[in-house]
Amino acid sequence: MAADLSLIAVRGLPDVAPGDDLAGLILGAIEKAGDTLADGDVLVLAQKIVSKAEGRFVRLADITPSAEAEDYAAKVDKDPRHVELILRESNDVVRIAPGVLIVEHKLGIVMANAGIDRSNIAQDKDDERALLLPEDPDASAAKLRDTIAERTGAKVAVVIADSVGRAWRYGTTGLAIGCAGINPLVDQRGDTDLFGRVLEVTEPAIGDEIASAACLVMGEAAEGIPAVILRGFDFQARDVSAKVMVRAKNEDLFR
């Protein structure tokens, strides 16, 4: 796929607010750094800045928990209002334990707390807010890709990344929840290995691998780098939804 890759941090982005021109902010920061986007670049964005620009904030004071949310909240020791938001954003509750609520998000992704976050968000102690995932991350990625092409002429791919935990493993890693201009799941079945053996199950999750690589640069705390350019990767430039990486429920052996 690539002999050498570069991961370039996009520094200097301000705290994004609802309605901000996200493409403009990113392009301005790249220009200020003396760089430009080029054909074949992959722009990887933290989900959080996309959600912020799209105004996906919810005031907890506006949330009235249902009886179901109150019941789950008592079992997992969470704010019932937060649990109510999680349930609203989910198709199904997969697992619960003290401090843990694993759900199937409306996007099909199995994750903790439906991806709802309260970190790295400006808060008022009397008006706490939570941030939801983008409603349609693929559409968000496509809009950014198209806007960048209109303003710069560069044909880039866009991947929206979030940090998630994994079954059987400690820690979090980057996951592609939306993409545009790239095939995130490459089918290599039928190809041969170094010794001529035919591959039977090999399907690299390119979207997730790109998201994880970019998260090494983004960090998880106060680094302030929510955008990364991945350069030098020879990807399949096709519009394929990130949902192709979500395993069908009837094939999920871990539930």
Q: Which residues contact 149 (CB under 8 A, 6 or more apart)?
A: 155, 156
Beta pairing, strands 169-180 & 57-59? unpaired
Assess if residue 1 is contained within a domain: no
Query: What does 104-117 look like in DSSP terms, one character per residue?
Result: EETTS-EEEGGG-B
User: Does 200 share its domain with 173?
Assistant: yes
Q: Give the residue from 13, 8, 6, 52 showing the smallest Cα distance to 224.
A: 13
Domain boundary among 97, 131, 165: 131
Domain around 225: 6-55+135-246
Note the pLDDT of residue 2.
Answer: 59
Q: Taking residues 194-205, report their average pLDDT.
A: 80
Note the pLDDT of residue 120.
Answer: 63
Q: What digits encode the pLDDT tens for the residues 81-98?
A: 999 999 999 999 999 999
Most confident of 41-55, 185-199, 211-225: 41-55
Q: What is the CATH number of the domain that holds 115?
A: 3.90.1660.10
Domain boundary among 100, 131, 162: 131
H or E stretch covering 129:
strand 129-131
Note the pLDDT of residue 66.
Answer: 97
Q: What is the CATH number of the domain that holds 176?
A: 3.30.1330.100
Assess if residue 253 is contained within a domain: no
Assess if residue 252 is contained within a domain: no
Note the pLDDT of residue 178.
Answer: 98
Residue 222 pLDDT exceeds 80: no
Who wins on pLDDT, 223 or 153? 153
Domain count, the chain: 2
User: Does 227 share its domain with 197?
Assistant: yes
User: Does 40 share its domain with 63?
Assistant: no
Q: What digits encode the pLDDT tens for the residues 31-53?
A: 999 999 999 999 999 999 999 99
Residue 1 pLDDT exceeds 60: no
User: Does 46 share its domain with 150?
Assistant: yes
Note the pLDDT of residue 16.
Answer: 94
Residue 27 pLDDT exceeds 60: yes
